[in-house]
Chain A
Amino acid sequence: MSKNSAKEHDTELLAAVAAGSRRALEELYLGYHRRLARFLSRFTPRYENVEEIINDTFMIVWQSAKDFRYASQVSTWIIGIAYRTALKSLRRQKNHSAARSLDDLPEQTIDPTGDTEVQDWLMHGLNQLPMEQRLTLELAYHMGHSLEEIAAITECPVGTVKARMFHAREKLRMYLPSLSGAGSESTAGGG
């Protein structure tokens, strides 16, 4: 299915959901589940939490479909709901469990050379970011959204998204010094 026909199909499905079709909701759910699950599983390792956020998202989709005014794409609207639901849920989790902090990590830095250990370190680096910055980076790099789409999803001005992206990249660079460029010449292009 091309990108345009996928958008049209989503629009048709949402109109059917607004008219009370459970079948349309089911199709929409199955169409978005993989994308949302892979995105959300980067923030919470427990599938129960991922499922809860996805199901909360689709409860809101079910209840609010009739209020959707088609000012944005259906996908942007659904991912926006998931974003806000995830943000609430993750903040709640953070209050209930020990939040990861720099103190939990070894006091050393790493030169990324491209293996699974490095992936783990990048993950640790991402975990250090404030939630909004982390989500911005994930929406851009993991989900492939544009600056304007992220602004719509997060309901923020474009300038705020730019600032979050800037700070996220800067913090990652400080956490993984090889990303800073200080050692780029010695790492043959930085890997």
Chain B
Amino acid sequence: MKIVPGTGSPVHPDISALIPWYVNGSIGERDRRRVDAHLAQCAHCRDELTREQWVYRSMNADTAVEYMPAVSLNRLQARLDAADGSESADVGEAAEAAAKPRRRSMPWQGLMAASVAVMAVALSLLAADRWLQYRARAAAPPDYHTVTISETRATDEAIRAVFSPTTTLSELQSILDEAQLRIVSGPTEAGVYSLAVKSRRPVGSSLALLRSHAQVRFAESTTSAPIEPLATP
């Protein structure tokens, strides 16, 4: 920002205020034309533009960090599950609280007995309804999975592995391609991937290759069959 000596103000404050939006490309067409026309004749503002472009480029320098959101999403799903659970509990408590005063206000013994009977019927209907809902939910395939329920192991899972958190998606894919493996499921909350073999390559060979990579923190076979020894060169 070119400053008027002794004032602390930019030389052309109106144009200066538009420069950030000119630099990030979000400026309107009319203002853009105005800035263009001004820049053509003002060296001070051209300098300011150059410096602002430097800040813009520097702030957008690629850090090459890639995030794998699956684990974070699992945690969100677990929070949503917990929130759903507490809402159901609240509804139950509210219903109970609403029922209590009515029960206390019954003045006659006979009516009290009738009320208990009605409540018993209502409760059994509610229980039956809950049971049917539970059965329906259990039968339907879930559209998400939580981190608190252990998944059954996929039938073709051969290896479980944990990769360094700094491993990018492209690095992960490259390692798996090299080892002729594919992801069956994962990562779990602990970052564990279940992997299956893609070719006839022996599991032991893929395992050894995984372990040779610095990005692989941990790798183990999950097959019950003994791992084939690696052919010595």
Residues of A within 8 A of B (CB): 22-23, 25-26, 29-30, 33-34, 37-38, 41, 47, 51, 54-55, 58-59, 62, 112, 114, 118-119, 122, 126, 137-138, 140-142, 144-147, 149, 162, 165-166, 169-170, 172-173, 178-182, 184, 189-191
Contact = CB atoms under 8 A, between A and B. Distances in A.
Interface stretch (B17-25, B33-41, B94-102, B208-216): B17-25
A122 B73 contact: no
B109 interface: no
Nearest to A147: B21
A181 B47 contact: yes
B59 interface: yes
A137 B8 CA distance: 20
A51 B55 contact: no
Interface stretch (B74-82, B196-204, B225-233): B74-82
A122 B2 contact: no
Contacts of A142: 59-60
A181 B143 contact: no
B48 A181 contact: yes
Task: For the complex of A and B, list the 7 residue pairs with the smallest distance between their C-beta atoms, beginning with the closest.
Answer: A146-B26, A33-B69, A181-B2, A190-B51, A37-B67, A51-B72, A184-B47
Contacts of A184: 2, 47, 50-51
Contact of A55 (B44, B48, B59, B79): B79
B111 interface: no
Candidate in A22, A59, A142, A144 with the most chain B CB atoms within 10 angstroms: A22
Contact of B26 (A149, A180, A182): A149
A22 B77 contact: yes
A144 B72 contact: no
Contact of A140 (B20, B72, B75, B143): B20
B76 A140 contact: no
B131 interface: no
B61 interface: yes
Given A55-B79, A146-B21, A180-B3, A122 B69 contact: no
Interface of B: 1-3, 8, 17, 20-21, 23-27, 44, 47-48, 50-52, 54-56, 58-61, 63, 65-67, 69, 72-73, 75-77, 79-80, 83, 143-144, 165
The majority secondary structure among interface residues of chain A is helix
B17 to A, nearest CB: 6
A30 B65 CA distance: 16
Given A22-B143, A59-B76, A34 B69 contact: yes
Contact of A23 (B50, B67, B143): B143
A141 B55 contact: yes
Contact of B58 (A29, A118, A182): A118
A179 B49 CA distance: 10
A66 B44 CA distance: 51
A125 to B, nearest CB: 9
Contact of A190 (B54, B76, B165): B54
Contacts of A169: 1, 20, 52
Contacts of A23: 143-144
Contacts of A138: 59
Contacts of A165: 17, 20
Contacts of A29: 69, 73, 76
A48 B55 CA distance: 28
A181 B1 contact: yes
A145 B143 contact: no
A59 B76 CA distance: 8
Contacts of A37: 67, 69
B26 to A, nearest CB: 3
Given A141-B24, A189-B50, A170 B1 contact: yes
B20 A47 contact: no
B223 to A, nearest CB: 32
Contacts of A144: 24-26
